[in-house]
A and B are shown apart, each in its own frame.
Chain A
Amino acid sequence: MLSKLKRILQKADADYADIRYEIKKETFITLDGKELSNIGSTTTDGYVVRVLKNCGFTSVSFTKEDDAEKALKTAQENAVLLGNNIEKPIKLAEVPIIKDTFIPTLKEDPRKISIEEKLNLLMHYNNIPLAHKKIVMTNMGYSETTREKYFISSEGAEIHEVLITTGISGSIISKDGNLTQNVRVGAGGSDGFYTVRELDDKFEKRTKIAIDLLSAEPVKAGVYDCILNQSLAGVFAHEAFGHFSEADIVESLPAMRKKMQIGNKLGNNVLSIIDNATILNQLGFYKYDDEGVAVREVKLLTNGVLTGRLHSRRTAHEFGEPISGHCVAEDYRFAPIIRMGTIYIEPQDKTLEQLMEELGDGLYILNAKGGQTSGENFTFGAQYGFIVKNGKKEKMVRDINISGNLYQTLQDITAVGNDLKLSKTGGCGKGQTNIRSCHGAPHILMKNVVLGGV
């Protein structure tokens, strides 16, 4: 395959060119309630070429090998057009030229497990919630995605990397009268099928939450001090802060870029945030990004001070900052963009009990339910929460959506727990989906949080 790609790339008339060919194999099973609605395995593939010419840098994705020349020609024409219309020439940061093959070591290779066994396991988990009268529906899925990537650049890089992501995820829907509630459940990872085994306990717990939510009260809109559990704090790290550590986003927002200078004090002293996709056995793990750069750990925020940023080769040069290996594509349809790998808030020394005591009166809110950012503003949902009085957990509340301002919130995180947990399911949609998006945190205490209520 690599030699075929070399032949295609030889025809490029450019200062730099690369090509990625990718075979994507997916196995999927979907259950809607007791019904099996989807099952199968399938393979798709395609190419992406990128060209730097006349100081312009563009990409074309294509499906058919016969389209390779047309794709290169289009990319070159577009690069020239781009170069003619920009003031500052695009350059790529220098990187070590890598020739390597990376095949992950798996504990139980999911590809060797029969689809019957996968279906039985999914049905087993699915039956846990469905055994309860108040659970009216589940949407449960098994997914297994293998990205087999081949990357060649005109600088001499030759990389073959395989990434296999396994996951079970879905939602449990409870109903009482006209009120429906839903709770998400899921697990998975990058290093084998074992990551979706032994989830009975998790399904039992989530089922109970879905049922309990039917008698929980909607939270009253207002401003609260909150403790966020690990999943929710991880989403904060990803949504509110993480996206602005991505150089391509900050680059498009000049006022934000000014505030997000390396060395600027942005957050409370207790707050340190790291992206580290090199941690083995985590969902977010990978070795090389989709422009052939080895990923490395980046300390993004250290004791409240901005210390690093996530880059592509283009932005690393543009910012004059070190390359980080975070330019990743969803699949063969896309040119890579800057993505987080495994982003997490570094743990400190407080136990959850100490945080509760420090909170006094407020809310303890748990588990993420989608989030979004728009510049310095963010919003995300929590699946459920508890009212806390005098440091004691009281009744359950539902319909929790919070909103805030990044800079203010970074200051308002006043205490960080000692119980770091990393997520086992991903899914970040920044134009493309990243199923390996992994985040985590310990429990954190956040002051002055706006809640929307219903």
Chain B
Amino acid sequence: MEKLLNMARKVCDQAEIYYCEPTSSEVMFQKGELHDIESQFQSGMALRIIKDGKLGFSYTKNLIDREEFIQNALDSLKGGVQAPYDFPHTSELPTLKTYNEHINEVTSSSMVENCTRITEIFIKNTDAEIEIVAYKEVLNQRIINSQGTDVHSKIGSTGYWLSLVYPGGGAGISRVYEEKIPFSVSRNILDNLVKMYNDSSKVVTIPGGKMKILFMPGSMYTLLWRLHSGTSAKSIYEEISPIKKDIGTQIVSEAITFYNDPLDDEVPGARSFDDEGVPTKKMNIIEKGVLKNFFYDINYAQKLSKQSTGHGYRASMWGGDTITMKPTPRLAHPRIAPGEKSFEELVAMMDKGIILDGVMGAHSGNIPNGDYSVGVSPGLYVEKGEIVGRVKDVMVAGNVYDTLKKVVAIENKLHTCWGGRMPAILCDSISVSSK
């Protein structure tokens, strides 16, 4: 990498190399039986160069020809993508505990054993169609640039995705559990999932109207994507955020504190630098309902005369190979601060309403405007504080800024879920349509 950097800096003003090496294995159980085992040994690198204020970019999986690789980046300069900024000089970073050697004890065999145990408990206690995935990933990353930055990280994670699918329905109760070291999911957690599944197995029909919705961590990405869009420097620059002038203004309930916490190394995936080598920090986006900060990468920070907040990540809504993407502003570690109620207390507070355990169609609808309109997948119906069954063919709709003004209470703990770590949030008077 150093050789490549030296070659690159001879032909341009600044250069940056991003190297990424993910190794992963995955064990899949379907219908209560081992179904597939897959492994990946991937690696690749991306080169960004700046010359005369213009940006060049190339990437490769196999560095066979350094000159060609640099030439590809030089060729892309012709396009004239503006880059009137510098790559960062990052010298000191906090030490995070992101990798524990014990993760090597996770093998395909141990994952099969653990999934078998969970499967047996589920088979014995439910009529569900059981899907389980166990995985292990080790991610090595390194960024070096011509400003003298040389940062690297090694992140290990292992986890389980469990799903109890109602027969025929496709929808089910799904959860993710993730750690930095080998673990098994506790019997208590499994029993709670089984109870939730069994309590909601009966299909009930309800009239539409306004009612309480308990957004579970598994459906929170519906709201998260819209908040993300509204507070990203990209949307601010493009003037499509409905809250672009609202810094310092109360935009949602004061119960909501929405923040990004990349330094929390209690859970897997902590990062002391972003994908541009900028140091990260814990940052409130919304504090007690008041909009505090937007988040920036280097590019959009420059356009808006701000500093990068360490939120430049090579990622998209739908995944993809990280080396093929250029950094854009992204909240990689979003959280909503916990409240004071247990999950059981939240359910007890619902006279009637839906526990939105998962959704379909979160990506449809007018995301920049904050609007959502999602199918329940599944929706557990609650009456007088008790789960009485589940609803089908039902949609829940609203606007994130309106919905989060109607917060009744927030769960007292965070759960790992798609996109971040979230509590369950109970909101009142949300529009529900039904057949």
A interface vs B, CB < 8 Å?
Answer: 26, 29, 32-33, 35-46, 56-65, 67, 70-71, 74-75, 77-79, 81-82, 85-87, 115-116, 119, 136-137, 173, 175, 178-182, 221-223, 251-256, 259, 332-333, 335, 369-381, 398-399, 401, 403-405, 429, 433, 448, 450-454
Q: Which residues of A are found within 8 Å of B40, using beta-carbon distances?
A: 60-62, 333
CA distance A397 to B427 in the complex (A): 27
Q: Which of B33, B167, B371 has the most CB of A within 10 A?
A: B371
Q: Which of B1-9, B188-196, B259-267, B318-326 contacts A (4 or more CB under 8 A)?
A: B318-326
C-alpha gap A61/B431 in the complex (Å): 46
Contact B396 A175 (CB under 8 A): no
Are A223 and B57 within 8 A (Cβ)?
no
Contact A454 B30 (CB under 8 A): no
Interface secondary structure of B, over-half rule = mixed
Cβ-neighbour of B395 out of A45, A180, A221 (below 8 A): A221
Task: Tally the A-B contacts, defined by beta carbons under 8 Å.
Answer: 277
CA distance A334 to B87 in the complex (A): 33
12 residue pairs bridging A and B, Cβ less than 8 Å apart: A36-B79, A37-B326, A42-B58, A81-B108, A221-B431, A221-B433, A253-B129, A372-B361, A374-B375, A381-B364, A401-B364, A453-B373
Contact between A254 and B377, CB atoms less than 8 A apart:
no
- Cβ contact of A454, chosen from B78, B234, B431, cutoff 8 A: B431
Q: Are B38 and A63 in contact (CB under 8 A)?
A: no
Residue among B35, B73, B242, B360 with the highest chain A CB neighbour number at 10 A: B360
CB distance from B60 to the nearest CB of A (A): 6
Report the separation of the CA atoms of residues A328 and B41 in the bound assembly, to the nearest whole angstrom: 20
Q: Which residues of B come within 8 Å of A, CB atoms? A: 25, 30-31, 33-44, 56-62, 72-73, 75-76, 78-82, 108-109, 112, 116, 129, 131, 165-171, 208, 234, 238-240, 242, 318-321, 323-324, 326, 358, 360-366, 368-369, 371, 373-375, 377, 392-399, 431, 433-435
Nearest-neighbour CB distance to chain B for A118, whole angstroms, equals 10
Partner of B392 from the list A71, A137, A223, A377 (CB cut-off 8 Å) is: A377
Report chain A residues within 8 Å CB of B394.
Answer: 403, 450
- Find out whether the CB atom of A255 lies under 8 angstroms from the CB atom of B129: yes
Q: Beyond A44-B61, A454-B431: 18 further Cβ-contacts under 8 Å?
A: A36-B81, A39-B81, A42-B60, A43-B72, A58-B36, A61-B39, A78-B39, A81-B112, A181-B369, A252-B131, A254-B31, A370-B364, A373-B360, A375-B169, A379-B395, A401-B361, A429-B318, A452-B373
Closest to A173 in B: B240
Given contacts A62-B40, A375-B171, whether A40 and B57 have CB atoms under 8 Å apart is yes
Which residues of B sit under 8 angstroms from A433, Cβ to Cβ? Answer: 318-320
Give A35 to B302 CA distance when docked, in angstroms: 14
Are A221 and B208 in contact, with the CB atoms below 8 A? Answer: yes
B residues in contact with A59, CB < 8 Å: 38-39
B57 touches A451 (CB 8 A): no
Task: Give the distance to chain A from B308, nearest Cβ to Cβ, in Å.
Answer: 16
Chain A interface SS verdict (over half): strand
Asked whether A405 lies within 8 Å of B393 as measured between CB atoms, the reply is: yes
Tell me how far the C-beta of B242 lies from the nearest C-beta in chain A, rounded to whole angstroms: 5
Contact A45 B61 (CB under 8 A): yes
- Chain A residues near B239: list those with CB within 8 A: 136-137, 175
List the 9 shortest-distance A-B pairs measured between CB atoms, nearest first. A375-B170, A39-B79, A381-B364, A452-B395, A255-B168, A452-B373, A40-B76, A379-B375, A401-B373
Question: Are the CB atoms of A40 and B79 closer together than 8 Å?
Answer: yes
Other-chain residue from B36, B56, B324, B371 in contact with A82 (beta carbon distance below 8 A)? B36
- Give every chain B residue within 8 A of A70 (Cβ-Cβ): 41
Nearest B residue to A382, CB-CB? B364
Contacts of A82 in B (CB 8 A): 34, 36-37
Is B168 within 8 A of A376, CB to CB?
A: yes
Q: Are A450 and B368 in contact (CB under 8 A)?
A: no
B41 touches A379 (CB 8 A): no
A173 to B377, CA, bound (A): 30
Please indicate the chain B residues that have their CB under 8 angstroms from the CB of A37 in the complex: 81, 326
State which of A57, A119, A180 has its C-beta within 8 Å of the C-beta of B242: A180
Q: Is the CB of B324 within 8 A of A44?
A: yes
Taking CB atoms, residues of chain B closer than 8 Å to A380 are 361, 364
> Given B169, B208, B360, B362, which contacts A222 in the complex, CB threshold below 8 Å?
B208
Residues of A within 8 A of B365 (CB): 369-370, 381, 399, 401, 454
In contact, B318 and A252 (Cβ under 8 angstroms): no
Contacts of B431 in A (CB 8 A): 221, 452-454
B367 — nearest CB in chain A belongs to which residue?
A: A182
CA of A371 to CA of B375 in the docked complex: distance in angstroms? Answer: 10
| A residues in contact with B42, CB < 8 Å | 46, 61-63, 333
The distance in angstroms between the C-alpha atoms of A56 and B41, with both chains bound, is 20
Given contacts A63-B43, A379-B360, is CB(A180)–CB(B240) below 8 Å? Answer: yes
Are A86 and B34 neighbours in the complex by a CB distance under 8 Å?
Answer: yes
On whether the beta carbons of A403 and B361 are closer than 8 Å, the reply is yes
Say yes or no: A401-B377 contact (C-beta < 8 A), given A40-B75, A373-B360, A379-B361.
Answer: no
Considering the chains assembled together, what is the distance between the CA atoms of A65 and B41 in angstroms? 11
Shortest CB distance B130–A (Å): 10
Q: In the assembled complex, which residues on chain A have CB atoms less than 8 Å from the CB atom of B368?
A: 173, 180, 182
Question: In whole angstroms, what is the CA distance A401 to B431 when docked?
Answer: 13
Complex Cα spacing A44 to B72, Å: 12
Q: How far is the CA of A399 from the CA of B323 in the complex (A)?
A: 35
B86, chain A: closest CB distance, angstroms: 18
Closest CB-CB distance, B368 to chain A, in whole Å? 5
Check A86–B33 contact: CB distance below 8 A: yes
What is the bound-complex CA distance between A221 and B431, given in angstroms?
Answer: 8
The verdict on A58 contacting B57 (CB below 8 Å), with A115-B78, A403-B361 known, is: no
Chain A residue numbers with a CB within 8 Å of B41 are 60-64, 67, 70-71
Q: Say which residue of B43, B75, B131, B377 sits within 8 Å of A41 (CB atoms).
A: B75
Are B79 and A44 touching (Cβ within 8 A)? no
The distance from the CB of A90 to the nearest CB of chain B, in whole angstroms, is 9
The interface residues of chain B lying within 8 Å CB-to-CB of A136 are 238-240
Docked-complex contact A454 and B397, CB < 8 angstroms? yes
Considering only CB atoms, which chain B residue lies closest to A404 in the complex?
A: B393
> Which residues from chain A contact B57 at a C-beta distance below 8 Å?
38, 40
Chain B residues near A454: list those with CB within 8 A.
365, 371, 373, 397-399, 431
Chain B residue nearest to A71 in the complex (CB): B41
Q: Please report the C-alpha to C-alpha distance between residue A256 and residue B171 in the assembled complex, in whole angstroms.
A: 12
Contacts of B168 on A, CB cut-off 8 Å?
253, 255-256, 259, 375-376
Alpha-carbon distance A180/B80, docked complex (angstroms)? 30
Take A29-B79, A401-B397, A454-B399 as given contacts and tell me if A180 and B366 are in contact as well, using a CB distance cutoff of 8 Å.
yes
How distant is A101 from chain B, measured CB to nearest CB, in Å? 24
Instruction: Enumerate chain A residues within 8 angstroms of B242, measured Cβ to Cβ.
Output: 178, 180
Once bound together, how far apart are the Cα atoms of A43 and B375, in whole Å?
40
**Are B363's CB and A372's CB within 8 A?**
yes
CA distance A67 to B41 in the complex (A): 8
Q: A63-B44, A136-B240, A403-B395 are in contact. Are A39 and B76 (CB under 8 A)?
A: yes
State A175–B72 Cα separation when bound (angstroms): 38
A333 to B60, CA, bound (A): 13
For the complex, what is the distance from the CA of A255 to the CA of B368, rounded to whole Å? 38
| Structural contact, A38 and B395, CB atoms closer than 8 A | no
Assess whether A401 is in contact with B39, with CB atoms less than 8 Å apart: no
Complexed CA–CA distance, A204 and B87 (Å): 40
Q: How far is the CA of A377 from the CA of B375 in the complex (A)?
A: 8
Please tell me if the beta carbons of B76 and A85 are within 8 angstroms of each other in the complex: no
Residue of A nearest to B316 (CB): A433
Q: Contacts A221-B395, A401-B374 given: A64-B170 contact, CB under 8 Å? A: no
Q: Which residues of B contact A32 (CB under 8 A)?
A: 234, 238
Q: By the criterion CB–CB under 8 Å, are A42 and B59 in contact?
A: yes
In the complex, are the beta carbons of B170 and A453 less than 8 A apart?
A: no
Q: Closest chain B residue to A86 by CB distance? A: B34
User: A39-B76, A254-B31 are known contacts. Are A74 and B39 too (CB-CB below 8 A)?
Assistant: yes
Contact A405 B392 (CB under 8 A): yes
Docked pose: A46 CA to B62 CA in angstroms: 8
- Check B37 against A78 for contact (C-beta < 8 Å): yes
Contact A378 B360 (CB under 8 A): yes
Given contacts A60-B38, A221-B431, A371-B364, contact A256 B170 (CB under 8 A): yes
